Amino acid sequence: MSKTVIGRILIALTAYGIFVALVMNFYDDSPANMKWEDRESYNRQFIAELQIDQFNFEQALQQLGNPDITEAKKVAGDRFQVMFYRTQHMKSDGITTQEECTALLFKNDALFAIGKSAYERFKQL
């Protein structure tokens, strides 16, 4: 191979390396910046892996972003907050409803329940 070909290959590899470094450092891939279809899929997959008492309120905000719907109350000194994250599309009306979401119930900032039963428990408090 000639020196010109090797030089061009090295320039291309360097440019590619710079491009990758820029994307890794400056591209914000948070859920808030995703298309709604991608965000639903991400939320569904992420929530499916959650375990009770091993996930907290702050992690939810960091990993899933702001909830689509949320409610909170204090009962007997304990703080309860239910957060709804959209996980299934039902109707193209521009409004996210609870039926399109999966509920995460937190008790004193620790994950307490997931899914339909989470909101039922929250309402019964």
Whether residues 48 and 8 fall in one domain:
no
- For residue 3, the model assigns a pLDDT of 84
Strands 101-107 and 110-114: antiparallel
Instruction: Of 54, 43, 62, give the one whose Cα is nearest residue 115.
Output: 43
The total number of structural domains in the chain stands at 2
Owning domain of residue 58: 35-124
From residue 24, alpha-carbon distances to 29, 45, 55 in Å are: 10, 23, 26
Whether residues 81 and 67 fall in one domain:
yes
Whether residues 2 and 21 fall in one domain:
yes
CA distance 74 to 86: 25
pLDDT 10s digits, 106-125: 999 999 999 999 999 999 98
Whether residues 27 and 45 fall in one domain:
no
CATH code assigned at 87: 3.30.1450.10
Query: How many CB atoms lie under 10 A from the CB of residue 20?
Result: 10
Whether residues 9 and 59 fall in one domain:
no
Whether residues 77 and 48 fall in one domain:
yes
pLDDT 10s digits, 11-65: 989 989 888 887 777 765 667 677 888 889 999 999 999 999 999 999 999 999 9
